[in-house]
Structure 1
């Protein structure tokens, strides 16, 4: 690998060049990120999956830049214009923008006004006027008249000379770099409403007259303004001189251009022409070029942030605590068409289905109770999952009352049904349940995602899970790539049961393609359960390389070899055998014997094949074989009688579940079919720069209701439980200990602004709605 590329990556990741070189070699050799992060720590000296993903992304960018660098050098060389100085500049360019700036003067292009003027012999005129202000432009131009070339008068000659110099200025890489740095630091992005679009674009009213430094525009506001522009509601402009008076005749950037060329513009004969050249070059060429570039850069940065937010939320949802292998009854709530019910066993296998009508308009409480109780008794159900869509709270109330009257202590849990309908209508669901009604498939999915959110959600396009921010405004290819990486990392971090995993889940295992995953399931269906990992090598099209990548992440829970149910890779089985022999214990006795394993010194078992890092990992895995990194299962308890937005009152304290985290706060489900917003300023008593430092998707939190807008279905919440809603006294009950009108106590920690930039909590909701 190119040494400069290695050095660049090492500096960006703050690791050694040797680590980068090794990681790149492993990636180039077809190894997956999860495999390298888990089983090649010795080689990479501990690079984790996050560092490797960043390295992988930047490697693509830098290699593309290297290829472009070679193309540019070749093109300029073929033109006979590649000087040693230019070659050095191109070789040292550290960004694609810098490369393209250097290439601008040599880039093949259509004939321009400047080129036509050069062909007409006006280059000496342009050079003379630019270098010596004592020349009188009109007098000097007389010598360059050439009617045959279209230069009929002095005005045409001077216009042509100006075009030559304008293009020269606009293609000066050093000048462009100076102005770009200035704009990045000081320019302002200004948004204004398109005349006549005030009513149609009301959702963008925060930006009808808005401006802020382009370098500091957060991703959600950038994407909102860009969407407003795309919808014809807003017009955006880059303001280079935000502090200058509107009637000012010149721009700071024009002064920068003059200083760059060492020009002192005064009242000399040619100064008026030179000022005109600079002004035209700035407004017509340089500003337009850099505005387009900076707007594209802003969009790219905003998209990257939004994709990162989506990825972080997706990871939290996928890594949510599983309820485990318990027989579960799933209910997909409904009104007119009834509630669809499905019972699955501990492995997710469908056992039974039914349709009940406990809600309006039928209100068949007795019939519904009889049906559900029969299913519970017949299948020994010990967990009920209820989708959080239409009629969910009514269905939950029915289930709790029914269980209480029957004397059954079965937990009911509200489950997000985002994407369940997508799965129900998918080809995958149709293949799995060809004879099952689409709505009943949704109930199956709801039950399974409570048992194991990861195993069920991998069947759904991540973009349908509902945790994104402006997900339709970003690059769909980049979004898909990032989300696929998150899913892959989550699946491999948890591990997969080889004898129960679905094909979609197996597809996410490192090294396995969709075809291999389907072949594993087909092999299992034909030959029965896998007795050990080695049998994988008998699966069609699953060769040694794929086995190497996937074996450590696949578990055989009741196989002959106890190591097969752990995260110990088959390539280190010989190491475990050696540890067992050296300690005088059987391999079976080592597995799970954490106290004994913790007493061992990893260095005593290290050799040329397995270093201390690998030995330590093996010992840790043996101590807790197949450990699940996900948290303990717990659920929120929604307040009884609080079923819709109109039931909420300022001051209520409620329990809820975080459903989504954005740059400006977190959304929380408190059981009223509409998520409430906890603005970033209300997440904690301390200053919060990133909401994810406080909460993540799936967290169970306590919140206080601060604002309720029933017509617009907006709920303002706070996690600072001693906050007092403005203009309201806290009501009695609902767990609120405040007396009416009581002020919140002073705090030592600095308080953040109570309102987001651009308006009140309602404005934050407007931004949230657009996302």
Structure 2
């Protein structure tokens, strides 16, 4: 635990004692806002951003330690844990490195290499690897055994090849080197699946798309992954010269790692094939899956953090304050919904007016609105930014001219998520007798008065200020957005006399 604390302290640039104090509070069930606001003296004034990062890293490093313990137990059970391996496992600082080290000891289905080992071909593989001057076909003859499934020299040499391939492909240092090489040099290549050109027209930008993997921005990566999930695009990682007959940089690195190069000795050609197959069959697909998974995770994290920033800005938009407000929720055929709330957000009056096509009752609407404004001493007009909002804005402009004595001000308000709120259980409790469409207008009025108090009633995802929100991990997204709401409410505080139940 101390090592986790000191590692987090290093990453955040704070003292280990601050981290230890924060971890103890989190473990007791304290929330980040509570610690940030009321336990400053204990944590040495860590702010909510530092605490959120600390909480995230703590979760990751604890999961890493749990996995480390179970891997050590598993290898120990097999009787294969050496002091060197134990040291490597204890030094592993990412989940990827841990899994690479565990790969040779993982319980797998019986592979071709294992079957060959059971048939005693390990000796042949070791001999050819150690001394490439031996002739593979001659050496293989004494291992022919039809009963074990190796009826001729071709089958025997294939078995020996799989033994070496599996050994090479499970070398943790080689994996780390190749992964790093691909990460910095690979190209992400997207192609349209033949025959899907019309169906997938919205992905046409990616039908012939190549870009450097490490430079791919999150929004493009998520678009490409969505295209693949919908069966429109195929994705691959490419590197180096892909021309037939040319040696792939990955093969060169495997050869260097195990001292294999073609000097014209009897077994060199066979060993060269082992290297080529190790890359093509074993390592390339494995690493491609890993790196695409990593790209996806990174893109998801970026998309979630953009969503979180946008939500933060929206929640902390400047409130208009306690002023009587008339809200217009624009609509054409179904009319504009009108709601009037007093300075504390209490609903006073509602109406439905039809200023736009097909009814075009412009003057009648102006008369109704002027009457409502005068009756309730309205100060502000909030206009939802949905369908027909421009026409409705023009209507509000004429209303202001019509009743100059009231000194009205009109403001356009985002209505994102208002329909979700109006059909929610919370809205039904607040306004049991009010029509669903009128509840949306009430929400628009209150959003202008106090965005935070009103928007916390809506599930953050429904506010719709993010990209690809349905493509990312819903658990991670919910965790991040809930944290934003918590931090915003914590930063501003609430007026207990007017706060909604959701806000409290």
**What TM-score comes out, normalization by structure 2 length?**
0.98
2:197 maps to 1:198: yes
Residue equivalent to 2:33: 34
Residue equivalent to 1:723: none
Residue equivalent to 2:131: 132
For 1:502 and 1:6, locate their aligned partners in 2 and report how far apart those are by CA, in whole Å: 39
Q: CA deviation at 1:156?
A: 1.0
For 2:95 and 2:471, locate their aligned partners in 1 and report how far apart those are by CA, in whole Å: 24
For 1:189 and 1:395, locate their aligned partners in 2 and report how far apart those are by CA, in whole Å: 47
Residue equivalent to 2:157: 158
Residue equivalent to 2:283: 286
Aligned pairs for 1:674-689 (under 5 A) are none
Residues 301-331 of structure 1 deviation map (CA, whole Å, 9 limit, x = unaligned): 0000000000000000000000001111111
Q: Tell me the secondary structure at the aligned position of residue 418 of structure 1.
A: coil
For 2:23 and 2:464, locate their aligned partners in 1 and report how far apart those are by CA, in whole Å: 34
Where structure 1 has 5 or more consecutive residues not aligned to the other structure, the ranges are 507-771
Aligned partner (choices 385, 388, 398) of residue 385 of structure 2: 388
Q: Tell me the secondary structure at the aligned position of residue 472 of structure 1.
A: coil
Aligned partner (choices 483, 486, 491) of residue 485 of structure 1: 483
Aligned pairs for 1:298-447 (under 5 A) are 298-407=295-404, 408-447=406-445
For 1:11 and 1:273, locate their aligned partners in 2 and report how far apart those are by CA, in whole Å: 49
For 2:74 and 2:335, locate their aligned partners in 1 and report how far apart those are by CA, in whole Å: 69
Residue equivalent to 1:92: 91
More helix by share: 2
Q: Tell me the secondary structure at the aligned position of residue 142 of structure 2.
A: helix
| Counterpart contact for 2:355–2:361, Cα < 8 Å | yes
For 2:394 and 2:180, locate their aligned partners in 1 and report how far apart those are by CA, in whole Å: 61
Residue equivalent to 1:75: 74
Q: Tell me the secondary structure at the aligned position of residue 126 of structure 2.
A: helix
For 2:97 and 2:395, locate their aligned partners in 1 and report how far apart those are by CA, in whole Å: 66
For 2:35 and 2:215, locate their aligned partners in 1 and report how far apart those are by CA, in whole Å: 36
Residue equivalent to 1:16: 15
Q: CA deviation at 1:247?
A: 3.1
Residue equivalent to 1:472: 470
| Counterpart contact for 2:260–2:272, Cα < 8 Å | no
Aligned partner (choices 483, 494, 497) of residue 496 of structure 1: 494
Q: CA deviation at 1:435?
A: 0.7
| Counterpart contact for 2:75–2:105, Cα < 8 Å | yes
Residues 121-148 of structure 1 deviation map (CA, whole Å, 9 limit, x = unaligned): 1000011111110110000001111122
Residue equivalent to 2:294: 297
Q: Tell me the secondary structure at the aligned position of residue 188 of structure 2.
A: strand
For 2:11 and 2:294, locate their aligned partners in 1 and report how far apart those are by CA, in whole Å: 19
**Larger RCO, structure (CA 8 Å, separation 6 or more):** 2
For 1:248 and 1:64, locate their aligned partners in 2 and report how far apart those are by CA, in whole Å: 44
Q: Tell me the secondary structure at the aligned position of residue 107 of structure 2.
A: coil
Question: How many residues are treated as equivalent by the alignment?
Answer: 503
Residue equivalent to 1:747: none
Aligned pairs for 1:711-726 (under 5 A) are none
Aligned pairs for 1:760-771 (under 5 A) are none
Q: Tell me the secondary structure at the aligned position of residue 190 of structure 1.
A: strand
Deviates most, 363-372 or 60-69: 363-372
Residue equivalent to 1:535: none
For 1:103 and 1:378, locate their aligned partners in 2 and report how far apart those are by CA, in whole Å: 75
Deviates most, 153-162 or 34-43: 34-43
Q: Tell me the secondary structure at the aligned position of residue 497 of structure 1.
A: coil
Residue equivalent to 1:207: 206
| Counterpart contact for 2:242–2:248, Cα < 8 Å | no
2:181 maps to 1:182: yes
Residues 62-90 of structure 1 deviation map (CA, whole Å, 9 limit, x = unaligned): 10010000000001001111000000000
Residues 358-410 of structure 1 deviation map (CA, whole Å, 9 limit, x = unaligned): 22222222321222122112211111101111111211211211220222420
Q: Tell me the secondary structure at the aligned position of residue 444 of structure 2.
A: helix
Q: Tell me the secondary structure at the aligned position of residue 20 of structure 2.
A: helix
For 1:247 and 1:138, locate their aligned partners in 2 and report how far apart those are by CA, in whole Å: 27
| Counterpart contact for 2:261–2:272, Cα < 8 Å | no
**What TM-score comes out, normalization by structure 1 length?**
0.64
Q: CA deviation at 1:46?
A: 2.2
For 1:70 and 1:402, locate their aligned partners in 2 and report how far apart those are by CA, in whole Å: 71
| Counterpart contact for 2:420–2:462, Cα < 8 Å | yes
Aligned partner (choices 459, 472, 491) of residue 461 of structure 1: 459
Q: Tell me the secondary structure at the aligned position of residue 29 of structure 2.
A: coil
Q: How big is the alpha-carbon RMSD for the aligned residues of Structure 1 and Structure 2? A: 1.2
Residue equivalent to 2:115: 116
For 1:115 and 1:463, locate their aligned partners in 2 and report how far apart those are by CA, in whole Å: 49
For 1:86 and 1:247, locate their aligned partners in 2 and report how far apart those are by CA, in whole Å: 39
Q: Tell me the secondary structure at the aligned position of residue 128 of structure 1.
A: helix
For 2:226 and 2:245, locate their aligned partners in 1 and report how far apart those are by CA, in whole Å: 31
Q: CA deviation at 1:248?
A: 4.2
Q: CA deviation at 1:249?
A: 2.6
For 1:105 and 1:220, locate their aligned partners in 2 and report how far apart those are by CA, in whole Å: 36
Residues 578-609 of structure 1 deviation map (CA, whole Å, 9 limit, x = unaligned): xxxxxxxxxxxxxxxxxxxxxxxxxxxxxxxx
Q: CA deviation at 1:200?
A: 2.2
Q: CA deviation at 1:245?
A: 5.5
Q: Tell me the secondary structure at the aligned position of residue 212 of structure 1.
A: strand
Where structure 2 has 5 or more consecutive residues not aligned to the other structure, the ranges are none
